[in-house]
Amino acid sequence: MANTSRPVRRTALLASAAALLGLVGACGSESSTSTAPRPTQAPRTTTVDPSAATGAATTPAATAAPSNTAGSASASARTDGRCRTGELRAEVGRVDPGAGQRNFPIVLTNTSDRTCTVRGYPGAAFVDASGGQLGPDPVRAPSSPGTVTLAPGKSAWAGLSFSSPQISGARTATPAALLVTPPDEHDPIRVAWTAGEVPVGGDESSVKVTALEPGTGP
């Protein structure tokens, strides 16, 4: 009778070895393909610098440069180009008698360092030493006023005329000064009057003034 115990034992040992190798292989395979969840990371937070939100407004390059506001207001105030009282010198030229008339040029000279303009009739009033007006305001002679441009140092003139009192028989007074007011201004320029008596009332007492024109007189 044949002995069968050794082949059975060998077969059993081979089977056990195969099972052991399978178990090791299974363990190795499981560790290399592990799908265990990773720890959840906390969400990233970003701190925003308040200045960054307004970046362009707070950077030096975006800061507006200061403007010459006062200078612009002063210029805007003088854009009309009109000569102001404080920029003019007034004087009365020599008498030009003729045909029973006495004629004087009232001269306005630009004493400022800018070019300005005058247009129309100057105001004129004879006053005594205390500043009281003598006679009525002069009458404007018919004319066509034009704009006169005065560069620094240049002049414009208007004619002041009245009938000679010795001929007209008008009531007279001797003024201390003539107040000359540039066109569209309120402040007068006081000019000493040295030409004697003027008519202030009665017949033929009107004093006339003409519109300004370039120059210093005829």
Residue 169 to residue 143: CA distance in whole angstroms? 28
Q: What is the pTM of this model?
A: 0.63
Residue 206 to residue 45: CA distance in whole angstroms? 95
Buried b (16+ CB within 10 A) or exposed e, 60-78: eeeeeeeeeeeeeeeeeee
pLDDT score, position 97: 84
Task: Read off the DSSP letter of residue 144.
Answer: -
pLDDT score, position 71: 35
pLDDT above 50 (res 50): no
Q: Residue written as tokens 């500043």?
A: 131
pLDDT score, position 134: 96
Q: Residue written as tokens 């305001």?
A: 137
Residue 95 to residue 218: CA distance in whole angstroms? 11
Residue 89 tokens, joined = 């010198």
pLDDT in tens, 136-170: 999 999 988 999 999 999 999 999 999 998 888 89
Q: Are 215 and 114 in contact (CB under 8 A)?
A: no
Q: How confident is the model at residue 80 (pLDDT cuts 50, 70, 90)?
A: low
Q: Which residue has the higher pLDDT, 186 or 36?
A: 186
Alpha-carbon distances, residue 69 vs 65, 73, 75 (angstroms) = 12, 6, 10
